[in-house]
Structure 1
Amino acid sequence: MSKATTINLAIDLWSNRQIKSNLGITGHFISKQWEIESVMLGCNWEIGRHTSDNILSWYNEVTAEFLLSTKEDNTDDENEDDSVSVSHSLESNVVLDHYACLAHVLQLVTKDSLAKIGQMGTVLKKCSNLVSFVRKSTIATDVLIGEARLQASNITRWNSLLKIILAILKVPDSKLAKLEDAPILTAQGRNILNDMVEILMPFEEATDTVRISCIPSARYMPHVFVY
Protein backbone atom coordinates (compact mmCIF):
# COMPACT_ATOMS: atom_id res chain seq x y z
CA MET A 1 0.00 0.00 0.00
CA SER A 2 2.93 2.33 0.65
CA LYS A 3 3.77 2.26 -3.08
CA ALA A 4 0.24 3.04 -4.24
CA THR A 5 -0.21 6.43 -5.88
CA THR A 6 -3.98 6.44 -5.39
CA ILE A 7 -6.00 4.78 -2.64
CA ASN A 8 -9.80 4.68 -2.61
CA LEU A 9 -11.35 4.45 0.83
CA ALA A 10 -14.64 2.68 1.56
CA ILE A 11 -16.45 3.27 4.85
CA ASP A 12 -18.78 0.50 6.06
CA LEU A 13 -21.38 1.13 8.75
CA TRP A 14 -23.42 -1.68 10.26
CA SER A 15 -25.02 -3.02 13.41
CA ASN A 16 -24.51 -6.61 14.56
CA ARG A 17 -27.17 -8.91 15.97
CA GLN A 18 -26.60 -7.39 19.41
CA ILE A 19 -27.41 -3.98 17.85
CA LYS A 20 -23.90 -2.67 18.46
CA SER A 21 -22.70 -0.02 16.03
CA ASN A 22 -19.57 -0.80 14.01
CA LEU A 23 -17.40 1.22 11.65
CA GLY A 24 -14.92 -0.16 9.15
CA ILE A 25 -12.56 1.53 6.69
CA THR A 26 -11.00 -0.38 3.80
CA GLY A 27 -8.42 0.90 1.34
CA HIS A 28 -8.62 -0.23 -2.30
CA PHE A 29 -5.87 0.32 -4.84
CA ILE A 30 -4.32 -1.08 -8.02
CA SER A 31 -0.93 -2.75 -7.60
CA LYS A 32 1.93 -2.44 -10.08
CA GLN A 33 0.88 -5.90 -11.33
CA TRP A 34 -2.53 -4.40 -12.19
CA GLU A 35 -4.33 -6.39 -9.52
CA ILE A 36 -7.03 -5.01 -7.24
CA GLU A 37 -5.79 -5.01 -3.64
CA SER A 38 -7.80 -4.36 -0.49
CA VAL A 39 -6.52 -3.59 3.00
CA MET A 40 -8.56 -3.23 6.18
CA LEU A 41 -7.30 0.00 7.74
CA GLY A 42 -9.51 -0.03 10.78
CA CYS A 43 -12.56 -1.57 12.41
CA ASN A 44 -14.12 0.03 15.44
CA TRP A 45 -16.99 -0.68 17.80
CA GLU A 46 -18.71 2.68 18.07
CA ILE A 47 -20.53 3.58 21.28
CA GLY A 48 -23.65 5.50 20.36
CA ARG A 49 -25.23 6.32 17.03
CA HIS A 50 -23.59 6.56 13.62
CA THR A 51 -23.62 10.36 13.59
CA SER A 52 -21.78 12.35 10.93
CA ASP A 53 -19.49 13.85 13.59
CA ASN A 54 -18.50 10.42 14.94
CA ILE A 55 -17.86 9.04 11.46
CA LEU A 56 -15.77 12.06 10.41
CA SER A 57 -13.76 12.02 13.63
CA TRP A 58 -12.80 8.36 13.29
CA TYR A 59 -12.17 8.74 9.57
CA ASN A 60 -9.68 11.53 10.30
CA GLU A 61 -7.96 9.39 12.95
CA VAL A 62 -7.47 6.48 10.55
CA THR A 63 -6.27 8.60 7.63
CA ALA A 64 -3.85 10.44 9.93
CA GLU A 65 -2.50 7.15 11.33
CA PHE A 66 -1.65 5.90 7.83
CA LEU A 67 -0.59 9.35 6.60
CA LEU A 68 -3.20 9.18 3.87
CA SER A 69 -4.33 12.76 4.25
CA THR A 70 -0.82 14.03 3.45
CA LYS A 71 0.29 11.35 0.99
CA GLU A 72 2.23 12.82 -1.94
CA ASP A 73 3.41 11.38 -5.22
CA ASN A 74 7.22 11.11 -5.08
CA THR A 75 7.58 9.19 -8.35
CA ASP A 76 10.46 10.47 -10.51
CA ASP A 77 9.61 11.10 -14.15
CA GLU A 78 11.74 12.75 -16.79
CA ASN A 79 8.58 14.26 -18.30
CA GLU A 80 7.10 15.18 -14.95
CA ASP A 81 6.23 18.80 -15.82
CA ASP A 82 4.50 17.84 -19.07
CA SER A 83 2.55 14.97 -17.50
CA VAL A 84 1.39 17.13 -14.60
CA SER A 85 0.17 19.91 -16.90
CA VAL A 86 -1.69 17.43 -19.11
CA SER A 87 -3.23 15.77 -16.06
CA HIS A 88 -4.47 19.08 -14.68
CA SER A 89 -5.84 20.02 -18.09
CA LEU A 90 -7.81 16.79 -18.35
CA GLU A 91 -9.16 17.08 -14.81
CA SER A 92 -10.45 20.58 -15.51
CA ASN A 93 -12.24 19.66 -18.76
CA VAL A 94 -13.57 16.15 -18.21
CA VAL A 95 -17.00 15.69 -16.64
CA LEU A 96 -17.30 12.25 -15.06
CA ASP A 97 -20.60 10.39 -14.84
CA HIS A 98 -21.82 9.39 -11.41
CA TYR A 99 -22.88 5.78 -10.96
CA ALA A 100 -24.98 4.84 -7.98
CA CYS A 101 -23.96 1.95 -5.73
CA LEU A 102 -25.44 -1.14 -7.39
CA ALA A 103 -25.99 -2.92 -4.08
CA HIS A 104 -27.97 0.07 -2.78
CA VAL A 105 -29.98 0.24 -6.01
CA LEU A 106 -30.96 -3.41 -5.58
CA GLN A 107 -31.93 -2.71 -1.97
CA LEU A 108 -34.15 0.23 -2.96
CA VAL A 109 -35.79 -1.56 -5.91
CA THR A 110 -36.71 -4.67 -3.97
CA LYS A 111 -37.73 -2.78 -0.83
CA ASP A 112 -40.03 -0.41 -2.76
CA SER A 113 -41.51 -3.31 -4.74
CA LEU A 114 -42.22 -5.36 -1.63
CA ALA A 115 -44.04 -2.37 -0.14
CA LYS A 116 -46.56 -2.41 -3.02
CA ILE A 117 -47.45 -6.06 -3.38
CA GLY A 118 -51.01 -6.03 -2.04
CA GLN A 119 -52.22 -9.54 -1.10
CA MET A 120 -48.66 -10.80 -0.80
CA GLY A 121 -48.12 -8.28 1.97
CA THR A 122 -50.68 -10.10 4.13
CA VAL A 123 -48.80 -13.38 3.71
CA LEU A 124 -45.46 -11.71 4.48
CA LYS A 125 -46.94 -10.17 7.62
CA LYS A 126 -48.05 -13.64 8.69
CA CYS A 127 -44.50 -14.92 8.10
CA SER A 128 -43.07 -12.16 10.29
CA ASN A 129 -45.58 -12.94 13.03
CA LEU A 130 -44.71 -16.64 12.79
CA VAL A 131 -41.00 -15.87 13.20
CA SER A 132 -41.71 -13.64 16.21
CA PHE A 133 -43.86 -16.37 17.75
CA VAL A 134 -41.21 -19.06 17.31
CA ARG A 135 -38.41 -16.87 18.67
CA LYS A 136 -40.40 -16.18 21.84
CA SER A 137 -41.61 -19.73 22.48
CA THR A 138 -39.41 -22.46 23.95
CA ILE A 139 -42.05 -25.05 23.01
CA ALA A 140 -42.02 -23.92 19.38
CA THR A 141 -38.23 -24.05 19.41
CA ASP A 142 -38.36 -27.66 20.60
CA VAL A 143 -40.91 -28.60 17.92
CA LEU A 144 -38.70 -27.13 15.19
CA ILE A 145 -35.48 -28.81 16.28
CA GLY A 146 -33.63 -29.97 13.18
CA GLU A 147 -35.15 -27.27 10.99
CA ALA A 148 -33.43 -24.11 9.78
CA ARG A 149 -33.49 -21.41 12.46
CA LEU A 150 -36.03 -18.69 11.71
CA GLN A 151 -34.18 -15.37 11.87
CA ALA A 152 -35.92 -12.02 12.14
CA SER A 153 -35.75 -9.82 9.04
CA ASN A 154 -33.15 -7.06 8.84
CA ILE A 155 -34.36 -3.71 7.52
CA THR A 156 -30.99 -2.96 5.90
CA ARG A 157 -30.88 -6.26 3.98
CA TRP A 158 -33.85 -6.96 1.75
CA ASN A 159 -32.77 -10.57 1.18
CA SER A 160 -33.21 -11.35 4.88
CA LEU A 161 -36.93 -11.51 4.06
CA LEU A 162 -36.25 -14.00 1.27
CA LYS A 163 -34.25 -16.15 3.67
CA ILE A 164 -37.19 -16.14 6.09
CA ILE A 165 -39.52 -17.30 3.31
CA LEU A 166 -37.15 -20.08 2.26
CA ALA A 167 -36.73 -21.25 5.87
CA ILE A 168 -40.50 -21.34 6.47
CA LEU A 169 -41.16 -23.24 3.24
CA LYS A 170 -38.69 -25.91 4.35
CA VAL A 171 -40.63 -26.57 7.56
CA PRO A 172 -43.12 -29.45 7.05
CA ASP A 173 -46.81 -28.60 7.50
CA SER A 174 -47.01 -31.35 10.11
CA LYS A 175 -44.59 -29.48 12.37
CA LEU A 176 -46.22 -26.10 11.86
CA ALA A 177 -49.56 -27.67 12.81
CA LYS A 178 -48.10 -28.58 16.22
CA LEU A 179 -47.46 -24.92 17.06
CA GLU A 180 -50.49 -23.95 19.13
CA ASP A 181 -51.62 -20.32 18.83
CA ALA A 182 -49.11 -19.71 16.04
CA PRO A 183 -50.16 -17.86 12.86
CA ILE A 184 -51.52 -20.40 10.37
CA LEU A 185 -50.00 -20.55 6.89
CA THR A 186 -52.58 -21.86 4.42
CA ALA A 187 -51.89 -23.82 1.24
CA GLN A 188 -52.67 -20.68 -0.75
CA GLY A 189 -50.21 -18.78 1.40
CA ARG A 190 -47.50 -21.32 0.62
CA ASN A 191 -48.23 -20.99 -3.09
CA ILE A 192 -47.85 -17.23 -2.84
CA LEU A 193 -44.52 -17.64 -1.03
CA ASN A 194 -43.28 -20.03 -3.72
CA ASP A 195 -44.21 -17.46 -6.37
CA MET A 196 -42.32 -14.78 -4.44
CA VAL A 197 -39.23 -16.98 -4.26
CA GLU A 198 -39.31 -17.41 -8.04
CA ILE A 199 -39.58 -13.63 -8.49
CA LEU A 200 -36.92 -12.66 -5.94
CA MET A 201 -34.23 -15.25 -6.67
CA PRO A 202 -32.71 -13.28 -9.60
CA PHE A 203 -32.33 -10.30 -7.27
CA GLU A 204 -30.73 -12.57 -4.68
CA GLU A 205 -28.23 -13.82 -7.26
CA ALA A 206 -27.43 -10.24 -8.27
CA THR A 207 -26.97 -9.27 -4.61
CA ASP A 208 -24.58 -12.17 -4.04
CA THR A 209 -22.62 -11.12 -7.12
CA VAL A 210 -22.06 -7.53 -5.96
CA ARG A 211 -20.85 -8.81 -2.58
CA ILE A 212 -17.83 -10.53 -4.18
CA SER A 213 -14.57 -8.96 -3.05
CA CYS A 214 -12.11 -7.28 -5.42
CA ILE A 215 -14.53 -7.17 -8.36
CA PRO A 216 -15.64 -3.69 -9.55
CA SER A 217 -19.36 -3.40 -10.23
CA ALA A 218 -18.60 -1.96 -13.69
CA ARG A 219 -17.35 -5.39 -14.69
CA TYR A 220 -20.80 -6.96 -14.68
CA MET A 221 -23.14 -3.97 -14.61
CA PRO A 222 -21.56 -1.10 -16.57
CA HIS A 223 -24.55 1.22 -16.54
CA VAL A 224 -26.80 1.80 -13.53
CA PHE A 225 -29.10 4.79 -13.63
CA VAL A 226 -31.35 6.04 -10.85
CA TYR A 227 -34.13 8.46 -11.75
Structure 2
Amino acid sequence: MNYHLKHGHPSTSTSSSQPPLKLSQTTLVLKPPLSDKRKRDITDKIADFVALDMRPVNIVEGEGFKQMMKFIEPGYTVPKRDTVMHAIKNKYNTTKQVLLEKLKACTAVSFTTDTWTSNQMDGYMTVTAHFISQEWQLHSFVLETKVLEVSHTAANIAERLGEVMEEFGIPPEKRVAVVHDNAANMVLCAQQLSQNPSWGNVGNSLIAEDIVSVLRPMITLTELLSQDVNASLSATLPMLVNMKRRHLLSRDDDSTTVKAVKKKITEEIDKRWELTGSLEGSIYIQAAVLDPRFKSLSFLDAEKRDDAYATVSDLAESLSPAEEATAQREDSSGTEE
Protein backbone atom coordinates (compact mmCIF):
# COMPACT_ATOMS: atom_id res chain seq x y z
CA MET A 1 0.00 0.00 0.00
CA ASN A 2 2.76 2.37 0.86
CA TYR A 3 4.60 1.51 -2.36
CA HIS A 4 1.42 2.14 -4.40
CA LEU A 5 0.68 5.47 -2.69
CA LYS A 6 4.29 6.60 -2.97
CA HIS A 7 4.65 5.89 -6.71
CA GLY A 8 1.07 6.14 -7.95
CA HIS A 9 -0.19 9.01 -5.81
CA PRO A 10 2.84 11.02 -4.69
CA SER A 11 0.67 14.01 -3.63
CA THR A 12 -1.01 11.92 -0.95
CA SER A 13 2.09 10.22 0.34
CA THR A 14 2.14 9.61 4.07
CA SER A 15 5.91 9.85 4.26
CA SER A 16 7.08 11.17 7.57
CA SER A 17 9.56 13.42 5.75
CA GLN A 18 6.84 16.08 5.18
CA PRO A 19 6.54 18.60 8.02
CA PRO A 20 3.25 18.66 9.86
CA LEU A 21 0.82 21.47 9.13
CA LYS A 22 0.97 24.39 11.63
CA LEU A 23 -2.28 26.01 12.60
CA SER A 24 -2.40 29.56 13.94
CA GLN A 25 -5.19 31.46 15.68
CA THR A 26 -5.62 35.23 15.91
CA THR A 27 -7.38 36.60 18.99
CA LEU A 28 -9.49 39.70 18.37
CA VAL A 29 -9.98 42.04 21.35
CA LEU A 30 -13.03 44.19 20.78
CA LYS A 31 -13.46 47.30 22.98
CA PRO A 32 -16.92 48.75 23.37
CA PRO A 33 -17.26 52.23 21.89
CA LEU A 34 -16.85 55.20 24.24
CA SER A 35 -20.05 56.30 25.88
CA ASP A 36 -21.25 59.86 25.44
CA LYS A 37 -20.65 60.48 29.15
CA ARG A 38 -17.04 59.35 28.85
CA LYS A 39 -16.51 61.65 25.88
CA ARG A 40 -18.01 64.60 27.78
CA ASP A 41 -15.84 63.87 30.81
CA ILE A 42 -12.66 63.85 28.70
CA THR A 43 -13.62 67.10 26.99
CA ASP A 44 -14.36 68.57 30.41
CA LYS A 45 -10.90 67.63 31.66
CA ILE A 46 -9.28 69.13 28.57
CA ALA A 47 -11.12 72.37 29.36
CA ASP A 48 -9.77 72.19 32.93
CA PHE A 49 -6.27 71.66 31.59
CA VAL A 50 -6.47 74.70 29.31
CA ALA A 51 -7.98 76.93 32.02
CA LEU A 52 -5.88 75.90 35.04
CA ASP A 53 -2.56 75.86 33.21
CA MET A 54 -3.48 78.93 31.12
CA ARG A 55 -2.74 77.20 27.84
CA PRO A 56 -3.92 78.61 24.49
CA VAL A 57 -7.12 76.96 23.30
CA ASN A 58 -5.56 76.07 19.96
CA ILE A 59 -3.33 73.57 21.75
CA VAL A 60 -6.03 70.97 20.99
CA GLU A 61 -5.27 71.42 17.28
CA GLY A 62 -1.61 70.51 17.69
CA GLU A 63 -0.43 67.21 16.21
CA GLY A 64 1.43 66.27 19.37
CA PHE A 65 -1.67 66.75 21.53
CA LYS A 66 -3.76 64.65 19.15
CA GLN A 67 -1.22 61.84 19.13
CA MET A 68 -1.08 61.85 22.92
CA MET A 69 -4.87 61.63 23.21
CA LYS A 70 -4.99 58.85 20.61
CA PHE A 71 -2.49 56.85 22.68
CA ILE A 72 -4.35 57.49 25.94
CA GLU A 73 -7.85 56.94 24.59
CA PRO A 74 -7.87 55.59 21.00
CA GLY A 75 -11.66 55.78 20.71
CA TYR A 76 -11.78 59.51 21.53
CA THR A 77 -11.75 62.19 18.85
CA VAL A 78 -10.17 65.46 19.99
CA PRO A 79 -12.79 68.21 19.63
CA LYS A 80 -12.28 71.43 17.74
CA ARG A 81 -11.17 74.54 19.60
CA ASP A 82 -14.70 76.00 19.45
CA THR A 83 -16.00 73.02 21.41
CA VAL A 84 -13.31 73.41 24.07
CA MET A 85 -13.92 77.15 24.25
CA HIS A 86 -17.63 76.50 24.77
CA ALA A 87 -16.79 74.12 27.64
CA ILE A 88 -14.53 76.74 29.24
CA LYS A 89 -17.25 79.39 29.04
CA ASN A 90 -19.70 77.02 30.71
CA LYS A 91 -17.20 76.45 33.51
CA TYR A 92 -16.72 80.19 33.89
CA ASN A 93 -20.46 80.79 34.18
CA THR A 94 -20.83 78.03 36.77
CA THR A 95 -17.92 79.33 38.83
CA LYS A 96 -19.21 82.88 38.57
CA GLN A 97 -22.59 81.87 40.00
CA VAL A 98 -20.86 80.29 42.99
CA LEU A 99 -18.80 83.46 43.49
CA LEU A 100 -21.88 85.69 43.25
CA GLU A 101 -23.47 83.72 46.09
CA LYS A 102 -20.33 84.09 48.22
CA LEU A 103 -20.18 87.84 47.55
CA LYS A 104 -23.84 88.17 48.41
CA ALA A 105 -23.33 86.44 51.76
CA CYS A 106 -20.24 88.40 52.90
CA THR A 107 -20.43 91.77 54.67
CA ALA A 108 -17.38 93.58 53.26
CA VAL A 109 -15.11 93.31 50.22
CA SER A 110 -11.68 94.80 49.55
CA PHE A 111 -10.09 95.02 46.13
CA THR A 112 -6.65 95.03 44.56
CA THR A 113 -6.20 96.34 41.06
CA ASP A 114 -3.41 97.03 38.62
CA THR A 115 -2.91 97.97 34.99
CA TRP A 116 -0.04 97.11 32.68
CA THR A 117 0.98 96.97 29.03
CA SER A 118 2.01 93.74 27.31
CA ASN A 119 4.94 93.28 24.93
CA GLN A 120 2.44 93.66 22.10
CA MET A 121 1.48 97.08 23.54
CA ASP A 122 -1.97 95.91 24.65
CA GLY A 123 -3.24 97.46 27.87
CA TYR A 124 -4.69 95.15 30.54
CA MET A 125 -6.43 95.63 33.87
CA THR A 126 -6.96 93.06 36.63
CA VAL A 127 -9.38 93.35 39.55
CA THR A 128 -9.23 90.94 42.50
CA ALA A 129 -11.77 90.74 45.33
CA HIS A 130 -10.84 89.75 48.89
CA PHE A 131 -13.34 88.94 51.64
CA ILE A 132 -13.94 86.78 54.70
CA SER A 133 -16.76 84.27 54.52
CA GLN A 134 -19.29 83.52 57.24
CA GLU A 135 -17.08 80.54 58.16
CA TRP A 136 -14.17 82.97 58.79
CA GLN A 137 -12.21 81.81 55.78
CA LEU A 138 -10.28 84.31 53.68
CA HIS A 139 -11.13 84.19 49.97
CA SER A 140 -9.49 85.90 47.02
CA PHE A 141 -10.99 85.76 43.53
CA VAL A 142 -9.83 87.41 40.32
CA LEU A 143 -12.98 89.07 39.04
CA GLU A 144 -11.53 89.88 35.65
CA THR A 145 -8.42 90.41 33.57
CA LYS A 146 -9.36 92.21 30.39
CA VAL A 147 -7.94 94.43 27.74
CA LEU A 148 -8.28 98.09 28.68
CA GLU A 149 -8.77 99.60 25.26
CA VAL A 150 -8.85 103.21 26.49
CA SER A 151 -5.87 105.10 27.95
CA HIS A 152 -4.91 104.30 31.53
CA THR A 153 -6.20 107.53 33.05
CA ALA A 154 -7.60 107.73 36.57
CA ALA A 155 -11.10 108.42 35.25
CA ASN A 156 -11.06 105.44 32.88
CA ILE A 157 -9.76 103.11 35.59
CA ALA A 158 -12.40 104.31 38.04
CA GLU A 159 -15.11 103.81 35.42
CA ARG A 160 -13.93 100.28 34.69
CA LEU A 161 -13.87 99.44 38.41
CA GLY A 162 -17.44 100.65 38.69
CA GLU A 163 -18.48 98.39 35.80
CA VAL A 164 -16.89 95.40 37.52
CA MET A 165 -18.74 96.19 40.75
CA GLU A 166 -22.04 96.31 38.87
CA GLU A 167 -21.33 93.08 36.98
CA PHE A 168 -20.68 91.17 40.20
CA GLY A 169 -23.43 92.81 42.20
CA ILE A 170 -21.23 94.35 44.91
CA PRO A 171 -23.20 97.24 46.48
CA PRO A 172 -21.49 100.45 47.68
CA GLU A 173 -21.89 99.63 51.37
CA LYS A 174 -19.73 96.49 50.95
CA ARG A 175 -16.82 98.24 49.22
CA VAL A 176 -14.34 99.06 51.97
CA ALA A 177 -10.89 99.47 50.38
CA VAL A 178 -8.96 99.53 47.12
CA VAL A 179 -5.30 98.47 47.28
CA HIS A 180 -3.00 99.65 44.48
CA ASP A 181 0.57 100.63 43.71
CA ASN A 182 1.91 104.17 43.93
CA ALA A 183 1.54 105.02 40.24
CA ALA A 184 0.15 108.53 39.84
CA ASN A 185 -2.93 107.43 37.90
CA MET A 186 -3.81 104.77 40.51
CA VAL A 187 -3.41 107.22 43.40
CA LEU A 188 -5.62 109.77 41.63
CA CYS A 189 -8.16 107.04 40.81
CA ALA A 190 -8.41 106.08 44.50
CA GLN A 191 -8.90 109.73 45.45
CA GLN A 192 -11.74 110.00 42.97
CA LEU A 193 -13.36 106.84 44.32
CA SER A 194 -13.18 108.14 47.90
CA GLN A 195 -15.15 111.21 46.80
CA ASN A 196 -17.71 109.20 44.85
CA PRO A 197 -20.87 108.38 46.88
CA SER A 198 -21.40 105.20 44.85
CA TRP A 199 -18.26 103.79 46.43
CA GLY A 200 -19.68 103.99 49.91
CA ASN A 201 -17.12 103.14 52.60
CA VAL A 202 -13.98 103.55 50.53
CA GLY A 203 -12.58 106.48 52.46
CA ASN A 204 -8.86 105.96 51.97
CA SER A 205 -6.83 104.43 49.20
CA LEU A 206 -4.43 101.74 50.32
CA ILE A 207 -1.03 101.81 48.68
CA ALA A 208 0.62 98.39 48.81
CA GLU A 209 4.08 99.71 49.67
CA ASP A 210 2.68 101.69 52.60
CA ILE A 211 0.81 98.72 54.02
CA VAL A 212 3.88 96.50 53.79
CA SER A 213 6.01 99.06 55.66
CA VAL A 214 3.54 99.04 58.55
CA LEU A 215 2.99 95.28 58.69
CA ARG A 216 6.61 94.18 58.33
CA PRO A 217 7.47 94.75 62.05
CA MET A 218 4.41 92.72 63.01
CA ILE A 219 5.72 89.79 60.97
CA THR A 220 9.04 90.01 62.83
CA LEU A 221 7.24 90.15 66.17
CA THR A 222 5.14 87.11 65.30
CA GLU A 223 8.24 85.15 64.31
CA LEU A 224 10.01 86.07 67.55
CA LEU A 225 7.07 84.99 69.69
CA SER A 226 6.56 81.79 67.72
CA GLN A 227 10.12 80.56 67.29
CA ASP A 228 10.19 78.73 70.63
CA VAL A 229 8.15 75.59 71.21
CA ASN A 230 7.18 76.92 74.65
CA ALA A 231 6.58 80.66 74.16
CA SER A 232 7.25 82.87 77.15
CA LEU A 233 4.39 84.99 78.49
CA SER A 234 6.90 87.46 79.88
CA ALA A 235 8.03 88.56 76.40
CA THR A 236 4.55 89.41 75.11
CA LEU A 237 3.86 92.86 76.56
CA PRO A 238 7.44 94.19 76.30
CA MET A 239 7.46 93.43 72.60
CA LEU A 240 3.97 94.84 72.01
CA VAL A 241 4.68 98.08 73.88
CA ASN A 242 8.03 98.55 72.13
CA MET A 243 6.40 97.97 68.77
CA LYS A 244 3.81 100.64 69.54
CA ARG A 245 6.49 103.12 70.51
CA ARG A 246 8.96 102.42 67.73
CA HIS A 247 6.79 101.48 64.75
CA LEU A 248 3.18 102.53 65.30
CA LEU A 249 3.64 106.18 66.30
CA SER A 250 2.46 108.53 63.55
CA ARG A 251 5.17 110.59 61.91
CA ASP A 252 4.92 113.81 59.97
CA ASP A 253 6.04 112.16 56.74
CA ASP A 254 3.47 109.34 56.99
CA SER A 255 0.78 109.29 54.34
CA THR A 256 -2.87 109.48 55.28
CA THR A 257 -3.17 105.78 54.64
CA VAL A 258 -0.25 104.87 56.91
CA LYS A 259 -1.57 107.06 59.72
CA ALA A 260 -5.00 105.46 59.51
CA VAL A 261 -3.56 101.92 59.52
CA LYS A 262 -1.22 102.64 62.44
CA LYS A 263 -4.06 104.13 64.45
CA LYS A 264 -6.32 101.15 63.81
CA ILE A 265 -3.65 98.60 64.72
CA THR A 266 -2.81 100.50 67.92
CA GLU A 267 -6.45 100.60 68.93
CA GLU A 268 -6.83 96.87 68.35
CA ILE A 269 -3.67 96.06 70.36
CA ASP A 270 -4.81 98.24 73.26
CA LYS A 271 -8.24 96.65 73.24
CA ARG A 272 -7.00 93.07 72.93
CA TRP A 273 -4.28 93.33 75.56
CA GLU A 274 -5.95 95.99 77.77
CA LEU A 275 -2.91 98.27 77.59
CA THR A 276 -4.77 101.49 78.34
CA GLY A 277 -5.96 100.53 81.83
CA SER A 278 -4.23 99.27 84.95
CA LEU A 279 -1.56 96.70 84.10
CA GLU A 280 -0.33 95.60 87.51
CA GLY A 281 -2.90 92.77 87.70
CA SER A 282 -1.99 91.39 84.28
CA ILE A 283 -0.47 87.93 84.26
CA TYR A 284 1.80 89.11 81.44
CA ILE A 285 3.19 91.89 83.66
CA GLN A 286 3.65 89.49 86.55
CA ALA A 287 5.54 87.12 84.26
CA ALA A 288 7.76 90.00 83.06
CA VAL A 289 8.59 90.97 86.68
CA LEU A 290 9.78 87.41 87.38
CA ASP A 291 11.78 87.15 84.14
CA PRO A 292 15.39 88.39 84.51
CA ARG A 293 15.27 89.69 80.93
CA PHE A 294 12.39 92.09 81.57
CA LYS A 295 12.22 92.56 85.37
CA SER A 296 13.32 96.20 85.03
CA LEU A 297 10.01 96.87 83.23
CA SER A 298 11.65 99.57 81.13
CA PHE A 299 8.67 99.47 78.77
CA LEU A 300 6.44 100.93 81.53
CA ASP A 301 6.44 104.35 83.15
CA ALA A 302 7.64 104.70 86.76
CA GLU A 303 4.19 104.66 88.35
CA LYS A 304 3.10 101.48 86.60
CA ARG A 305 6.41 99.81 87.40
CA ASP A 306 5.93 100.48 91.12
CA ASP A 307 2.38 99.14 90.97
CA ALA A 308 3.54 95.99 89.19
CA TYR A 309 6.32 95.33 91.73
CA ALA A 310 3.90 95.89 94.62
CA THR A 311 1.36 93.49 93.10
CA VAL A 312 3.93 90.71 92.67
CA SER A 313 5.25 91.32 96.20
CA ASP A 314 1.75 91.06 97.68
CA LEU A 315 1.14 87.92 95.68
CA ALA A 316 4.35 86.36 97.02
CA GLU A 317 3.39 87.23 100.61
CA SER A 318 -0.05 85.75 100.16
CA LEU A 319 1.54 82.50 99.03
CA SER A 320 3.84 82.24 102.07
CA PRO A 321 1.20 80.85 104.53
CA ALA A 322 0.19 78.28 101.96
CA GLU A 323 3.80 77.22 101.49
CA GLU A 324 4.31 76.92 105.28
CA ALA A 325 1.17 74.81 105.62
CA THR A 326 2.35 72.53 102.82
CA ALA A 327 5.76 72.17 104.46
CA GLN A 328 4.16 71.31 107.83
CA ARG A 329 1.99 68.65 106.22
CA GLU A 330 5.03 67.13 104.55
CA ASP A 331 6.95 67.14 107.87
CA SER A 332 4.07 65.48 109.72
CA SER A 333 3.76 62.84 107.01
CA GLY A 334 7.47 62.07 107.35
CA THR A 335 7.23 61.80 111.15
CA GLU A 336 4.34 59.35 111.00
CA GLU A 337 6.28 57.13 108.62
The structure number with the bigger radius of gyration is: 2
Identify which of structures 1 and 2 has the higher relative contact order when contacts are C-alpha pairs closer than 8 Å and 6+ apart: 1
Q: TM-score, normalised by structure 2?
A: 0.23
Q: Which has the higher helix share?
A: 2
